Chains A and B, each alone.
Chain A
Amino acid sequence: KAGVTQTPRYLIKTRGQQVTLSCSPISGHRSVSWYQQTPGQGLQFLFEYFSETQRNKGNFPGRFSGRQFSNSRSEMNVSTLELGDSALYLCASSLGQGTDLNEKLFFGSGTQLSVL
Chain B
Amino acid sequence: AQSVSQHNHHVILSEAASLELGCNYSYGGTVNLFWYVQYPGQHLQLLLKYFSGDPLVKGIKGFEAEFIKSKFSFNLRKPSVQWSDTAEYFCAVKGDGSYQLTFGKGTKLSVIP
Q: Which residues of B contact A (CB under 8 A)?
A: 6, 9, 30-32, 36, 42-46, 49, 51, 90, 94, 96-106
Contacts and interface: CB of A to CB of B under 8 A. Distances in A.
Contacts of A101: 30-32, 51, 94, 96
Contacts, number: 62
Contacts of A58: 100
B90 A42 contact: yes
B43 A48 contact: no
A14 B101 CA distance: 31
Complex A-B, nearest 9 residue pairs according to Cβ-Cβ distance, in ascending order: A42-B105, A101-B32, A43-B103, A107-B44, A56-B99, A42-B106, A109-B43, A55-B99, A107-B43
Contacts of A42: 6, 90, 103-106
Contacts of B30: 101
Contacts of B90: 42-43
Contact of A33 (B36, B49, B51, B101): B101
